[in-house]
């Protein structure tokens, strides 16, 4: 059986030059991360410049779990909570919105369009792409839907930038990355262990 190359992935370790990478022109950023905490994600977002208005679309965390970590940022934060929205009946406020969780990438795309039109944000954070796709496997249908979605984002007539989070806590290796359809791909690894000298 002949093997076919599905993807060629290149990873760059970025620490000192992270600000330089983020200061270059881009529209879509895919962040692989292993963090279960909101704090580490927000610490990354704080490294971005020009964020006066942020829209955080959450499929994994509630408004209450996200908002406190942005308190010290001088930015307007709007949260679309798709966790509480699917469980409780909650009323929208000026900065918090409740939606049923999208079950497909197409539904996610419509949710994006809705809030881009209403809020005109500088950044849209989607947490998390791992709800729709598993980068450790490749299936033509799933990958094509993802490519269509990413191309839609890149061609959206808006000045906002898209940060796509992908929570990767499994031990499976990444089989493919949509490297030609995303401007920047970064991997953030949070290493946690007991600090013995703290007693």
What's the CA gap between 197 and 116, in Å, rounded? 48
4 compared with 54, residue with greater pLDDT = 54
Q: Report pLDDT for 198.
A: 55
* 113-166 pLDDT tens trace: 999 999 999 999 999 998 888 887 766 667 788 888 999 898 888 889 999 999
pLDDT at residue number 28: 95
- At residue 85, the pLDDT reads 66
Q: What is the mean pLDDT of the chain?
A: 84
Question: How far apart, in Å, are the Cα atoms of 175 and each of 9, 89, 108, 136, 153?
Answer: 9, 39, 23, 5, 23
pTM attached to this predicted model: 0.85
Give residue limits of the domains in the chain: 26-198
Which CATH architecture does the domain made up of 26-198 adopt?
Answer: 3-Layer(aba) Sandwich (3.40)
Give residue for tokens 């200061």: 23
Taking only the tens place, the pLDDT of each residue in 77-93 is 999 999 986 676 788 99
HEC per residue, the chain: CCCCCCCCCCCCCCCCCHHHHHHCCCCEEEEEECCCCHHHHHHHHCCCCCCCEEEEEECCCCHHHHHHHHCCCCCEEEEEECCHHHCCCCCCCCCEEECCCCCCHHHHHHHHHHHHHHHCCCEEEEECHHHCCCCCCCCHHHHHHHHHHHHHHHHCCCCCEEEEEEECCCCCCCCCCCCCCCCEEEEECCCCCCCHHHC
58, pLDDT greater than 90: yes
153 within 8 A of 129, measured Cβ to Cβ: no
Whether the pLDDT of residue 172 is over 70: the answer is no
């Amino acid at each position: 059986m002949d093997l076919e190359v599905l993807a060629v992935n290149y990873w760059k370790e970025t620490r000192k030059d992270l600000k330089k990478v983020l200061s270059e022109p881009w529209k879509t950023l895919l962040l692989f991360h292993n963090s279960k905490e909101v704090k580490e994600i927000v610490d990354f977002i704080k490294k971005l410049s020009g964020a006066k208005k942020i829209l955080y679309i959450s499929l994994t965390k509630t408004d209450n779990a996200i908002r406190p970590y942005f308190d010290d940022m001088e930015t307007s934060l709007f949260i679309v909570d798709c966790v509480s929205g699917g469980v409780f009946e909650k009323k929208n406020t000026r900065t918090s919105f409740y939606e049923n969780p999208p079950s497909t990438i197409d539904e996610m795309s419509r949710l994006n369009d809705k809030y881009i039109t209403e809020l005109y944000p500088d950044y849209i954070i989607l947490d998390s792409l791992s709800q729709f796709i598993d980068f450790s496997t490749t299936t033509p249908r799933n990958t094509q839907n993802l490519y269509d979605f990413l191309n839609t984002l890149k061609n959206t007539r808006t000045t906002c930038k898209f940060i796509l989070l992908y929570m990767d806590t499994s031990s499976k290796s990444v089989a493919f990355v949509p490297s030609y359809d995303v401007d920047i791909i970064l991997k953030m690894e949070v290493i946690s262990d007991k600090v013995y000298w703290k007693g």
